[in-house]
A and B are shown apart, each in its own frame.
Chain A
Amino acid sequence: MSVTIFVPRETTALALGADEVAARIQGEAAARGVEVELVRNGSRGLFWLEPLVEVETAAGRIAYGPVEPGDVAGLFDAGLLEGSNMPPLCQGPTESIPYLQAQQRLTFSRIGVTDPLSIDDYYAHDGFRGLRRALGREPQAIVDEVKASGLRGRGGAAFPTGIKWQTVLGAPAEQKYIVCNADEGDSGTFADRLVMECDPYLLIEGMTIAGLAVGATQGYVYLRSEYPLAHEIFNEAIARAEAAGYLGADILGSGRRFDLEVRLGAGAYICGEETSLLESLEGKRGMVRFKPPLPALEGLFGQPTVVNNVLSLAAVPFILSRGATAYADYGMGRSRGTLALQLAGNVKRGGLVELAFGTSLRELMEDFGGGTASERPLRAVQVGGPLCAYLPESQWDLPLDYEAFAEVGAGVGHGGVVMFDDTVDMAEQARFAMEFCSVESCGKCTPCRIGAVRGVEVIDRIRAGDNREANLVLLGDLCETMVDGSLCAMGGMTPFPVQSVMKHFPDDLQR
């Protein structure tokens, strides 16, 4: 009888040797004359255990990790195929691993469980239920469902998704578009990548529902070129979905059309900003557009366009299949549903943690993350990407909620949590924020284009002790100018990490 073994095919697992582990398993099975069915699943997102090998047994899937290629023969000897409990690699039944069990996975319920490219697998795990529901409903009813769910854009701006869809639905036009922002450029974030690599049909389903809701027949996924595996897997998923009738001219025989294409970015952080992204999709430099007009009214090629992040669109199938209330029941205040948190940087147990809004940052970093990887004291945490503040210990008890974070000048952004231990030089981090902006600014407005360059220079003078007090005042002024005068969030938010260093870690600027 053949035994099913799962070895992830996902960027982080591969970066840690999953392909070699898979090859060793096949070699070992062949040498021993045992029949093994090797499934390349997605990752569960428990990265400190990657490569995480799972074995299907009568008692469910048993997990082993982190498995190095050299461990494989020993695992076979010790009874891997029977799911034997062998410390330290055996983690027991996968679903009982506390890190996973303590999560509230709505969007990510399938990742790591299924073979990402198998439509049958997707279908067997509740896939396309939301799409089927949507096909039987009027566009307005779909939009109403999304509105009632309280879903807000997960890309960072947190704008209510249903309102955006309503605007596009109400805009008369021959052609409308759904554009998925998959330019996940924030350091510390990888949830979009996980969706595309580990559960690609989820995004296809979400985008198709969006198309049905607003009357758009063409979708584009704007994917960053830094994600080659996501590109490969998602393109294959589109081809298979088309062949199976889930995309194309006649979705599931309904007579409704939706086509989908991936467009590759070319290494420009600014193209995560929605108007720059649209320019780039049109084949131009990714220069920010003035708003208004809103993309919902005049977006891609001048037509009404829904621009949503991967995670926003990936939340939609659950909302349609289980109902708005089921989603809205999770969360706190005006932050409804779940948030895909990504534990990164100097963390012992890094990975994806999907939880309802409201968990405190400290719980997340300690209970899930287990503290720093270096086992040194944690000193600073950057939540929400390179344009967001560094939080000192006094702010770690904040609940993860859009409003609570906004109140202290911080942001939840795309849910990335990057931890730093006490060896970090915060002046260096402040300098990097400005340097990053100077590399990545689109150049359209002066505060961002010139301000970032001057920011690096001023911080260099401060660090060199050159006229320090006067330069600190100048840095404060420069930050204010950029916040107030920049055209978009790139220049407008670059000062946030810098200001947070000035406020919470002033000693580092005095060394």
Chain B
Amino acid sequence: MLNSTFQPWTPQLVRDEIDALKHKPGALLPILHAIQDRCGHVPHEAVPIIAESLQLTRAEVHGVISFYHHFRTAPPGRHVLQICRAEACQARGSRALEMHAREVLGIDYHQTTADREITLEPVYCLGNCACGPSLRIGDSIHGRVSPEKFDRLVDEMTTQVLEVS
């Protein structure tokens, strides 16, 4: 999940997720997913708690977090936007889309806009290979993304609906 509503992390939250899943064989990945789904990232402070609960070393836990592209140790922006960089999308113009995205957002991959709205990440295949270029915002996949469509999507993400009382 790449949701936009994340909770602040607490040791209790981390312990709750661990307790709910530690009975599973090979529970570390499900636990990391659960923490990141709720907090938007896996905070450094969670590492010793996880290590102790699963009887692993901190290095082992850190090694797993850092191995996988999906896990992050710092909070993302309000929206995570992933652009597909793989071959099928390249064949349909994803390189131009990447350049456009970096220019419009003013950031590179793995960075967050100054207003903390959007985190830009690369992704290697969303399985929408006949209708690229593709991107993912939250859990939604978008196809045939032209630069104009990209701008529209970014507008929709960053426009706040004002409550008029």
- Residues of A whose CB lies within 8 Å of any CB of B are 11-12, 14-16, 47-48, 50, 184-190, 193, 225-229, 263-269, 280-286, 301, 342-347, 350-351, 373, 382, 386, 416, 418-421, 424, 428-429, 432, 436, 439-440, 442
Beta-carbon contact of B86 and A386 below 8 Å: yes
A350 to B91, CA, bound (A): 13
B6-14, B112-120, B133-141 - interface stretch: B133-141
Would you give the 0/1 interface string for B94-137, flagging 1 where the beta carbon is closer than 8 Å to chain A?
Answer: 01000000000000000000000000000111111111101010
Beta-carbon contact of A418 and B26 below 8 Å: no
Minimum CB–CB distance from B158 to chain A (whole Å) comes to: 21
Beta-carbon contact of A16 and B144 below 8 Å: yes
Q: Hey, which chain B residues are within 8 Å of A440, CB to CB?
A: 124
A266 to B36, CA, bound (A): 11
Minimum CB–CB distance from B74 to chain A (whole Å) comes to: 16
Beta-carbon contact of A225 and B125 below 8 Å: no
Selected contact of B131 from candidates A16, A188, A418, A424, CB within 8 Å: A16
Beta-carbon contact of A11 and B26 below 8 Å: no
Beta-carbon contact of B129 and A285 below 8 Å: no
Output the nearest chain A residue to B63 by Cβ-Cβ distance. A285
Output the nearest chain B residue to A380 by Cβ-Cβ distance. B91
Beta-carbon contact of B70 and A47 below 8 Å: no
Beta-carbon contact of B1 and A343 below 8 Å: no
Judged by a CB distance under 8 angstroms, whether B77 is at the interface is no
Beta-carbon contact of B89 and A225 below 8 Å: no
A294 to B139, CA, bound (A): 36
A302 to B136, CA, bound (A): 37
Beta-carbon contact of A266 and B90 below 8 Å: no
Output the nearest chain B residue to A390 by Cβ-Cβ distance. B87
Beta-carbon contact of B69 and A344 below 8 Å: no
Beta-carbon contact of B87 and A382 below 8 Å: yes
Q: Hey, which chain B residues are within 8 Å of A48, CB to CB?
A: 130
Minimum CB–CB distance from A415 to chain B (whole Å) comes to: 12
Would you give the 0/1 interface string for B38-79, flagging 1 where the beta carbon is closer than 8 Å to chain A?
Answer: 000000000000000010000010011001111100000000
Beta-carbon contact of B92 and A11 below 8 Å: no
Beta-carbon contact of A185 and B125 below 8 Å: yes
Q: Hey, which chain B residues are within 8 Å of A432, CB to CB?
A: 87, 90
Q: Hey, which chain B residues are within 8 Å of A419, CB to CB?
A: 91
Q: List 19 A-B contacts (CB under 8 A).
A: A12-B141, A15-B141, A16-B144, A47-B130, A50-B131, A226-B126, A263-B29, A268-B70, A280-B29, A281-B29, A286-B67, A344-B129, A345-B92, A350-B130, A416-B88, A418-B87, A419-B91, A432-B90, A442-B67
Judged by a CB distance under 8 angstroms, whether B32 is at the interface is yes
Total A-B pairs, Cβ < 8 A: 157
- Which A-B residue pairs are the 7 nearest by beta carbons? A350-B130, A187-B86, A283-B28, A266-B68, A344-B129, A345-B91, A15-B143
Output the nearest chain B residue to A343 by Cβ-Cβ distance. B130
Q: Which size class do B's interface residues fall under?
A: 35 or more
A11 to B27, CA, bound (A): 28
A351 to B88, CA, bound (A): 12
Beta-carbon contact of A185 and B124 below 8 Å: yes
| Known contacts A267-B69, A285-B64, A285-B67: A345-B87 contact under CB 8 Å | yes
Q: Hey, which chain B residues are within 8 Å of A342, CB to CB?
A: 129-130
| Known contacts A190-B127, A263-B29, A284-B28: A228-B86 contact under CB 8 Å | no
Q: Hey, which chain B residues are within 8 Å of A14, CB to CB?
A: 140-141
Minimum CB–CB distance from A291 to chain B (whole Å) comes to: 20
Judged by a CB distance under 8 angstroms, whether B15 is at the interface is no
A312 to B75, CA, bound (A): 39
Beta-carbon contact of A187 and B144 below 8 Å: no
Identify the interface centre among A186, A281, A416, A429: most chain B CB within 10 Å of its CB: A186
Q: Hey, which chain B residues are within 8 Å of A347, CB to CB?
A: 130
Q: Hey, which chain A residues are within 8 Å of B30, CB to CB?
A: 263-264
Q: Hey, which chain B residues are within 8 Å of A50, CB to CB?
A: 131
A386 to B143, CA, bound (A): 21
Beta-carbon contact of A346 and B69 below 8 Å: no
Beta-carbon contact of A268 and B26 below 8 Å: no
A282 to B126, CA, bound (A): 25
A268 to B71, CA, bound (A): 11
Q: Hey, which chain A residues are within 8 Å of B91, CB to CB?
A: 344-346, 418-421, 424
A14 to B30, CA, bound (A): 27
Minimum CB–CB distance from B108 to chain A (whole Å) comes to: 15
A188 to B124, CA, bound (A): 11
A202 to B145, CA, bound (A): 32
| Known contacts A346-B92, A418-B87: A193-B140 contact under CB 8 Å | no
